Amino acid sequence: MRISLGYPDADQEVAIMERREHVDPIDELEPVCTPEDIANLQARADDVYIDVLVKQYIVELANATRQHPEAALGVSPRASINLMKGGKALAMLYNRDYVIPDDIKAIATATLAHRVLLTPSARMREVTQETVVADVLSQISVPGASVRKS
């Protein structure tokens, strides 16, 4: 997974420098959990149920990145696994014992975008990896969603 925190503005950056001028706040940090706590959370996330339809949705998203015209290389099966595991972790954080497609959609960009290799022409046109993932998310039907007929 990759997330971007951005950069602080000038005043924030000066404040950061001042806080670290004489002491490193990292040295004052205390652990908030033990390695056993982390292992327990990982085990709880592993126990979250994910339906085969949601797994198929993940595979469809991955395949769509591989076939996208702006992608020289789409995501690998490892990305699909990470998307599944991330979906389970997010469901657990929301106190659910099952994954819903919205969990997958919520983490898709952070999980997949940095794994998409753009074509040279896409890079020249300033297409982003995030744009490719957003395009894929808009093209692939969510499991259980019905299409309205007018």
DSSP 23: -
**pLDDT tens, position by position, 47-104:** 999 999 999 999 999 999 999 999 999 999 999 999 999 999 999 999 999 999 999 9
Indicate if the pLDDT at residue 15 is higher than 60: yes
Q: Which CATH architecture has domain 62-142?
A: Orthogonal Bundle (1.10)
The pTM is what? 0.81
Helix (H, G, I), strand (E, B) or coil at 73: strand
Domains of the chain, by residue range, sit at 62-142
Compute the distance between CA of residue 63 and CA of residue 60 in angstroms, rounded to an integer.
5
What average pLDDT does range 94-119 have in this prediction?
A: 97
Indicate if the pLDDT at residue 145 is higher than 70: no
